[in-house]
Amino acid sequence: MSPAKRKTHRPRPAGRAAPRKRPARRPAAEPATQPRPENAEALALARRAAHLLVDRKATDVVLLDVRGMSSYADYFVIASGDSERGVVATAEHVRENLKSAGHRTIGTEGFDTGHWVLLDFGEVVVHVFFTEVREFYDLDGLWADAPKEKVA
């Protein structure tokens, strides 16, 4: 390396302070481990959705209590359907019946494909899967720590 390209230490000019160091980052706050208080209205809505799914012959209907584990919902309702058309029809049945009871969806996804239809009612999120897709995404396993209620 030539002397011209070699870095040399130059003394700091007088009156100039040393660069300030950034403060160390604080560790992120621990998530709340205590579940939120039970919301009877949300639980009733989740159970109603689950029973509507059973009425339409959805299989393996499960209600998961994700209070304290999820920031966006208190309950998940998960069900399977045997065909893409059945998944869409089942989800539509739930949406229409709950709409007539005064519950509006915040958002819906998946009606165009029928592989995984999601109905977001705020504190309750309903997932209707085509059977093979449910096995692939394994939401039941992902939320294995959540208390489970099997609906028949």
Give how far Cα 72 sits from Cα of 34, 59, 123, 125, Å: 15, 25, 7, 9
Per-residue tokens: 133: 């897709």
Q: What is the pLDDT of residue 4?
A: 58
- What sign results for the dihedral spanned by CA atoms 77, 151, 87, 45? negative
Q: Which residues contact 131 (CB under 8 A, 6 or more apart)?
A: 59, 80, 81, 82
- pLDDT, tens digit (0-9, with 9 covering 90-100), for 77-136: 999 999 999 999 999 999 999 999 999 999 999 999 989 999 999 999 999 999 999 999
**Model-level pTM?**
0.74
Q: Pairing relation of β-strands 59-65 and 116-120?
A: unpaired
List, for residues 17-59, the tens digit of each pLDDT value: 655 666 566 555 455 455 567 778 999 999 999 999 999 999 9
CATH no., domain 40-151: 3.30.460.10
111 to 87, 114, 117: CA distances (angstroms): 9, 6, 6
pLDDT at 40: 87
What DSSP element (H or E) covers 49? helix 40-55
